[in-house]
Amino acid sequence: MPRKFNHGLDYDDDDYGDEYDDYDYDYDIDSDAEDNGNLPKPNQETDSSSIWRCSICTYDNDQSMTTCDICGVLRNPLPLSGISNGNDLKTVPFKFDIPSPDDMVTNGLHSSKRGPKASATVRKDNTSAPMSARFSNSSSLMMSKGSNVTGNENNQLKDEEHNLRSSAKSPGTLSSYHEGGVEHTLPMDEIKPPILARSLDSVSINDRGGTGKAASWGQYKPEKWMLPESEDGLLNQLNLAIVGHVDSGKSTLSGRLLHLLGRISQKEMHKHEKEAKLQGKGSFAYAWALDESPEERERGITMTVAVAYFDTKRYRVVVLDSPGHKDFVPNMISGATQADAALLVIDASIGSFEAGMDGSKGQTKEHAQLIRSFGVDQLIVAVNKMDVVEYSNDRFNLIKRQLGTFLRSSGFRDSSVLWIPLSAMENQNLVTAPSDVRLLSWYKGPYLLDAIDSLHPPTRDVLKPLVMPICDVIKSPTMNQVSACGKLEGGALRSGVKVLVMPSGDVGTVRSLERDSRPCAIARSGDNVAVVLQGIDTSKVIAGGVLCHPNFPISIAKHLELKVLILDGASPILIGSQLEFHIHHAKEAARVEKMVSLLDPKTGKVMKKAPRCLLAKQSAVIEVVLQGPVCAEEFSSCKALGRVSLRALGRTIAVGIVTRVIEKEP
Ligand code: GTP
Ligand code: MG
């Protein structure tokens, strides 16, 4: 069963035959006037001179705003900037005609996405679409349960949060908040902001949580075939999450890399270019290699994570191209949770970098924090669209200085962050040294591909039993066959092996394995594969579930103890707060059941028992009760099943780990 899917668009070889084999794609793209604009998704000016309409969400913004008040997308053209790409006519406005993944959890709706996809190179994962390989964190298991939060409860919660937030925001009243009409005072040291870096480190590194599975898993003895052989000649797989603010050029960069490295043929590229131009979106030709669904193409944004592959000298890279739009952060979480390393793409153009860094609307900081909380400590910052700023060294340095400070505070070591100025559109500094003299004059570092090769190989849990969180399920009803896609986080698989499918508890047999659409004999920890199963009811294999060793079942639970770090700018958390709970590829509505303790972020020691409320930058132990059960383990026994993020009102408010599985489901 292929991991690439060709059932969306018909490719007619006769139309694009040999004549295009020598097609100079670079020349054509570069000479296309509509692609030369620095901000190719124009916002539409409305009739009224006092407002401008965002082309992404169609919100009518006040003239004074340079970014959309709703989705943070940069206004184009900027007032008085004189910059326009002259390609406004056919831009199709973004419409929120389907609920965002966040809305679906909050409102208990079902995902409506069932669209087909097509690509010869890319797999898109969709946790709820059987035959489409899309990857959105809207698993049918998790979504079908929805949430019980009523409008009234929601409003009440919002009011409470508003009270807390406003009291927390006003200087001098930081230590007080309102609950049930009563003012409460917190000791000042309880709300002193910790250094985020230490907090994230203590969350991800210093956990000494429960003993749960660690002891029983200690008895596991891997068979000889499961251990990697040094002479097998295979490149190490490196799962590379491409993250960053909306429109920064993630898909364009990914598409360009795939094309330059021979993973997308001239013919395919020409096809993307032709179709993109037909829709008045010529500048998106490379992005269309990843953004395959009609909806993504029409809106000009990535909505679900695309999975593609290319090889470097050292690695078989699994590209996880994430959506940058804030409505699709849950999908980004589901994809990036598999990352071994990340490529944070920054739009260098004036105003766009700043929009991405905006604490409330930008996604640069949120993505960076999420990635760090998933245990990723190796980061390449691709400062893209340098062509727009004339390859200015000053602009690059400013971005490096401002973002560098934030990354340091988020727990990234300076020595683990590589900064690469580049232009995906002009093919500068991607797979060869730059040719533009403006960049050459001051940049002497590695090009992007070299930077990827310089990353340290990730460590793998080869001695642990099988754990493979399922990010996507592909069903083939005619053959009564089902494929579970995902990254092995422990153990190994080969055909004939029996696997336990959780949460159903059914046992299936591995019929075959595929890596990058090619059959492979063995998959080991770290490999991103499709596992074709037989002998199992296909409805029992669901995205958000986990494949594991039949003798070492993982836990299913609804009641968990978590150690969390509340993120900057987050709404306060109280007992009873309704949250979206994310763990590996599963998402579930959750309620805060208990506030166990407030922790000293530096030492991890308990500062206060049973705090009433948690504010931004605090670290705490809490208990949550989920609407439905999820596969979860204590972080100390299985990192991949023990990392969580909590979201509310469309933003990530906390990241953390599972310290105790309190009540296991039978
Ligand atoms: P989302 O997935 O929706 O978050 O967007 P993205 O980050 O994948 O951005 P995408 O690749 O869709 O590109 C957005 C726009 O930026 C497109 O019009 C691209 O042509 C343009 N773009 C990307 N890279 C460059 C670049 O290096 N220079 C210029 N001038 N434009 C670029
Ligand atoms: Mg994209």
Q: What is the DSSP string of 22-64?
A: T--HHHHHHH-GGG--S--SPPEEPSSTTEEE-TTT--EEETT
Q: What is the average pLDDT across 158-177?
A: 35
Separation of alpha carbons 464 and 552, rounded Å: 10
Asked if the model's pLDDT at residue 30 lies above 60, the reply is no
**326 and 361 Cβ atoms separated by less than 8 Å:** yes
Mean local confidence (pLDDT), 226-255: 87
Upper half-sphere CA count for residue 437 (Cβ side, 13 Å): 0
Better-scored residue on pLDDT, 392 or 60: 392
Which has the higher per-residue pLDDT, 524 or 196? 524
Query: What's the pLDDT score for residue 655?
Result: 94
Looking at per-residue confidence, does 510 or 602 come out higher?
Answer: 510
State whether the beta carbon of 428 lies less than 6 angstroms from ligand 1: no
Q: Which ligand is nearest to the CA of 286?
A: 1
Q: CB under 8 Å to 394, separation ≥6 — which residues?
A: none
pLDDT of residue 212: 54
Structure tokens at 392: 């200015």
Q: At what angle do helices 196-204 and 364-373 cross, to 10 degrees?
A: 30
Percent of the chain whose predicted confidence (pLDDT) is above 70: 69
pLDDT score, position 217: 73
Ligand 1 contact via 572 beta carbon (within 6 Å): no
Strand, coil or helix: what is 266? helix
* More confident position, 193 or 285: 285
Q: Is the CB of 125 under 6 A from ligand 1?
A: no
Does residue 532 have a pLDDT over 80? yes
Residue nearest to atom 29 of ligand 1 (CA): 385
> Which numbered ligand comes closest to the C-alpha of 243?
1
Ligand 1 centroid to 138 CA: how many Å?
25
Q: Which ligand is nearest to the CA of 56?
A: 1
Residue 55 has pLDDT above 80, yes or no: no
Q: Provide the β-strand partners of residue 308.
A: 319
- 287 Cβ inside 6 Å of ligand 1: yes
Average pLDDT over residues 563-571: 90
pLDDT at 507 over 80: yes
**So what's the pLDDT on residue 74?**
67
Q: Which residues contact 12 (CB under 8 A, 6 or more apart)?
A: none
Q: From the CB of 263, is ligand 1 less than 6 Å away?
A: no
Query: Given a cut of 80, is residue 645 above it in pLDDT?
Result: yes
The per-residue pLDDT of the chain, averaged, comes to 76
Report the C-alpha gap between 398 and 348 in whole angstroms.
10
pLDDT (average), residues 139-147: 31
User: How far apart (Å, rounded) are the C-alpha atoms in residues 467 and 486?
Assistant: 10
pLDDT over 60 at 344, yes or no: yes
pLDDT at residue 18, rounded to an integer: 33
Could you tell me if 548 and 467 are in contact, meaning their C-beta atoms sit under 8 angstroms apart? yes
Cβ within 8 Å of residue 32, ≥6 positions away: 277, 282, 283
CA-CA distance, 51 to 60, in Å (whole number)? Answer: 6
| Contact residues for 431 (Cβ-Cβ < 8 A; gap 6+) | 257, 260, 261, 447, 448, 449
- Looking at all shown ligands, the one closest to residue 34's CA atom is 1
Of 292 and 176, the one with more pLDDT = 292
Q: How confident is the model at residue 486 (pLDDT cuts 50, 70, 90)?
A: very high
To test the pocket of ligand 1, the residue of 43, 247, 295 to mutate (highest count of ligand atoms within 8 Å of its CB) is 247
Q: Which residues pair with 599 in a beta bridge?
A: 606, 619
Mean pLDDT is lowest, of 101-105, 276-280, 391-395, 497-501, for: 101-105
pLDDT for the residue 65: 74
| For ligand 1, atom 2: residue with the closest CA | 302
**Residue length of the chain:** 666
Q: Report the pLDDT value the prediction gives residue 44, as an integer from 0 to 100.
A: 41
Region of poorest pLDDT, from 119-128, 149-158, 310-319, 654-663: 149-158
Find tokens 């970014």 and name the residue: 67
Residue 29 beta carbon below 6 angstroms from any ligand 1 atom: no
Nearest to 139 by CA among 583, 627, 645, 544: 544
Q: How confident is the model at residue 480 (pLDDT cuts 50, 70, 90)?
A: confident
Residue 358, token pair as written in the block: 């905006």
Check whether 351 has a pLDDT greater than 90.
Answer: yes
- The torsion defined by the Cα of 612, 591, 485 and 462, in degrees rounded to 10, comes to 40
DSSP 8-state class, residue 618: -
Least confident of 12-21, 118-127, 356-365, 392-401: 12-21
pLDDT band at 470 (very low <50, low <70, confident <90, very high): very high
Confidence at residue 224, expressed as pLDDT on a 0 to 100 scale = 79
Residue 12: pLDDT band (50, 70, 90) is very low
Spacing, Cα 287 to ligand 2 middle (Å): 6
Instruction: Identify the helix (H) or strand (E) that includes residue 474.
Output: strand 472-476
pLDDT for the residue numbered 481: 82
Helix (H, G, I), strand (E, B) or coil at 16: coil
Q: What burial letters (b/e) apply to 246-275, b meaning 16+ CB within 10 Å? A: bbbbbbbbbbbbbbbbebbbbbbbbbbbeb
Are 507 and 499 within 8 A, CB to CB? yes
> Quick check: 620 and 611 in contact, CB under 8 A?
yes
What's residue 233's pLDDT?
Answer: 62
Residue 253 CB partners (closer than 8 Å, separation 6+) = 242, 286, 343, 345, 382, 384, 422, 424, 430
pLDDT number for residue 516: 81
The per-residue pLDDT for 560 is: 97
453, containing H or E segment: helix 448-453
CB 633: neighbour CB atoms within 10 A? 26
What are φ and ψ of residue 492, in 5° steps?
Answer: -150, 165
Angle at 96 between CA 94 and CA 99, to 5 degrees: 145
CA 283–ligand 2 middle distance (angstroms): 12
Q: Of 236-245, 402-411, 476-485, 496-505, which gets the smallest average pLDDT?
A: 476-485
Give the distance (Å) from ligand 1 centre to CA of residue 654: 29
Higher-confidence position of 648 and 134: 648
Q: What is the mean pLDDT of residues 223-249?
A: 84
In this prediction, residue 70 carries a pLDDT of 64
- Answer yes or no: is pLDDT of 109 > 80: no
Q: Which of the four pLDDT bands, split at 50, 70 and 90, describes residue 448? A: very high
Q: Which residue has better confidence, 346 or 195?
A: 346
**Quick one: pLDDT at residue 197?**
43
Mean pLDDT of the 153-178 span: 36
